Amino acid sequence: MILEVFLVTFIISYLGSIPPGVANVSVMQMGMKNHKRAAIFFSLSASLVEFLYAGLTVKFQIFLQSSTRLDNIFHIITGVALIAVGLLSMRSKSTTADVHGQEIAKGRDGFKKGIVLGFLNPMTIPFWLMVTAYIQNHQIIPLDGAAYWTYLAGISSGTFVLLMTVLWLGKKFTQISDNQLLVHKVPGILLIGLGVYTLVAWYF
């Protein structure tokens, strides 16, 4: 079960980090400038911030589920939010050209930049709030005890491995992340489907 928790969150985190953002584009740029050591430190610190954000999000979601009334309200909010995010994703046309990374110094300065940019990415919170709510509502995996820490480890590991993939791909990442169908349309359709399913399951 612990392995299942890790794999589920790892895959979600990995796929959720593909769309062009400051973190993955910065890593791509560092790789192209041969600042690989800085890119690794940057990726590590960004993953640690993701761990922290996700940990707070899970605790908040567990608190919401402790009240039946709040749980019902949030169940509806989750379904609507998934549909809204799905629609926004399908309409989005963001590419790597839209994200302008800053010059990153070599070495451990990359770690500092990763911390700063990680904390400046508050969209991590609503994303994991929706994911956690969906997982809990449908009891896909447990989130208590050791599973809680495994869940967070899967999230941060998925982010780190994606950033390492970006570093390894270099310029090829641009082609992948600029593919509107792969990065925006398909995830959008999946999110809308999950949102509709969540609302239908709550109603019946």
Q: Is the distance from CB of 149 to CB of 59 less than 8 angstroms?
A: no
pLDDT score at 6: 94
The residue behind tokens 């910065």 is 26
The residue behind tokens 């970006």 is 166
pLDDT score at 10: 95
Per-chain mean pLDDT for the chain: 79
Pairwise pLDDT comparison (100 vs 84), residue with the higher score: 84
The residue behind tokens 């985190």 is 13
pLDDT score at 1: 77
Pairwise pLDDT comparison (156 vs 79), residue with the higher score: 156
Q: Is the distance from CB of 111 to CB of 35 less than 8 angstroms?
A: no
pLDDT score at 103: 53
What residues contact 162, with CB distance under 8 A and at least 6 apart? 13, 14, 17, 18, 24
Q: What is the pLDDT of residues 3-40, one digit of tens each?
A: 999 999 999 899 887 666 778 778 877 877 778 888 89
Q: What is the pLDDT of residues 104-161, one digit of tens each?
A: 555 567 888 888 877 777 667 777 877 887 787 778 888 888 999 999 999 999 999 9
Q: Which two tokens stand for residue 194?
A: 């999950």
pLDDT score at 159: 92
Q: Is the distance from CB of 9 to CB of 149 less than 8 angstroms?
A: no
- When pLDDT is cut at 50, 70 and 90, the band that residue 76 belongs to is confident
Mean pLDDT highest for which of 66-70, 75-79, 148-152? Answer: 148-152
- When pLDDT is cut at 50, 70 and 90, the band that residue 176 belongs to is low
Could you give the CA distance from residue 113 to residue 95 in angstroms, rounded to a whole number?
A: 22
pTM > 0.85? no
